[in-house]
Amino acid sequence: MDSQTKRNYIKAGKISAEVLEYGKSLIKHGNSLLETTELIEKKIFELGGKPAFPVQISCNDIAAHFCAEEEDKTVFEEQVISLDLGVHVDGAIGDNAYTIDLSGKYNDLVKAAQKALEESLKIVNVGTELREIGKVINDTIKSYGYTPVRNLSGHGLDLYNIHTNPTIPNIDNGDKTILKKGMAFAVEPFATTGSGVVHESGLATVFMLEHKKPARSPITREILKEIETYEGLPFAKRWLTRKFGAKANFALRELTQLGMIHQFPPLVEVNKGIVTQAEHSILIDDEGEVIVLTKM
Ligand code: CO
């Protein structure tokens, strides 16, 4: 990894951490989910980064991939709210997340995910097996009496690629792949009161350009040009409807039919369990030094 790329990872991580702190301060009774989402996205640009994916604010049994649309009327009340955000600097990504319990009933569930992250980071090093990280996460969450979400995982962070190898499990899945020098990745424990499995539910508001092909309609071509400015990273339907109105829906439909875009529907706990999350991004540099990119 060249030194400029390393500096970009460090900068992206620092901005991510700063924006997460800012976002946490906005998650309060009575604040609007949509407005909060947009203020956080604005902050990313103000600090000199770009969103690596749309800011996600997921409530209660939604584990991930919830992203407000323009018409969203949700106001924060007695929910358990997870904020997950990513920032990139020239493609180098910092990704972090935090859960806030506004219900006052799930303090331990919040702690379970956070402690699992803390404990797992203690063993992150060159040569650590992925399954060992999963085991620490699983055991920590279980010690609080909760269940890890086993079909969600941490992930490698490549340039302009948010979900790549290694896949970092939240349970001991037997994977003996080891961490190596030069790897950037996110560790992302989820804890739940449910059974520990999520499934896709509801309509996607997050998309990603996957295969570029020619599109026929001028509207779709115009919107495709905008989508290309996201550089292959996930984007929100809202970003397009804000700019292009209803034309964006038409274009997204055509792009989906052409098999050009990937959809990310909300991920919901199958037993309607409450879900909490904690996440940090880590870089192991070429000298083998472990840098937690998103630590304040
Ligand atoms: Co992540």
Average pLDDT score, the chain: 97
Tens-digit pLDDT string for the chain (296 aa): 899 999 999 999 999 999 999 999 999 999 999 999 999 999 999 999 999 999 999 999 999 999 999 999 999 999 999 999 999 999 999 999 999 999 999 999 999 999 999 999 999 999 999 999 999 999 999 999 999 999 999 999 999 999 999 999 999 999 999 999 999 999 999 999 999 999 999 999 999 999 988 888 999 999 999 999 999 999 999 999 999 999 999 999 999 999 999 999 999 999 999 999 999 999 999 999 999 999 98
CA 115 to ligand 1 center in whole angstroms: 17
Residues tagged active-site:
84, 95, 155, 163, 188, 279
Q: What per-residue confidence (pLDDT) applies to 216?
A: 86
pLDDT in tens, 20-37: 999 999 999 999 999 999
Dist CA 65 CA 168 (whole Å) = 18
Q: What per-residue confidence (pLDDT) applies to 296?
A: 83
Residue that the structure tokens 């902050």 belong to: 43
CA 172 to ligand 1 center in whole angstroms: 19
Contact in structure between 152 and 134 (CB atoms under 8 Å)? no
Q: What per-residue confidence (pLDDT) applies to 280?
A: 98
3-state secondary structure the chain: CCHHHHHHHHHHHHHHHHHHHHHHHHCCCCCEHHHHHHHHHHHHHHCCCEEEEEEEEEECCEEECCCCCCCCCCECCCCEEEEEEEEEECCEEEEEEEEEECCCCCHHHHHHHHHHHHHHHHHCCCCCEHHHHHHHHHHHHHHCCCEECCCCCEEEEECCEEEEEEEECCCCCCCCCECCCCCEEEECCEEECCCCCEEECCCCCEEEECCCCCCCCHHHHHHHHHHHCCCCCCEEHHHHHHHHCCHHHHHHHHHHHCCCEEEECCEEECCCCCEEECEEEEEECCCCCEEECCCC
CA 113 to ligand 1 center in whole angstroms: 14
Distances from the Cα of 105 to the Cαs of 79, 108, 138, 268, in angstroms? 9, 8, 22, 20
Q: What per-residue confidence (pLDDT) applies to 22?
A: 98
* Those residues with Cβ within 8 angstroms of residue 252's Cβ, 6 or more apart along the chain or in another chain: 207, 223, 237, 240, 261
CA 153 to ligand 1 center in whole angstroms: 8
CA 275 to ligand 1 center in whole angstroms: 15
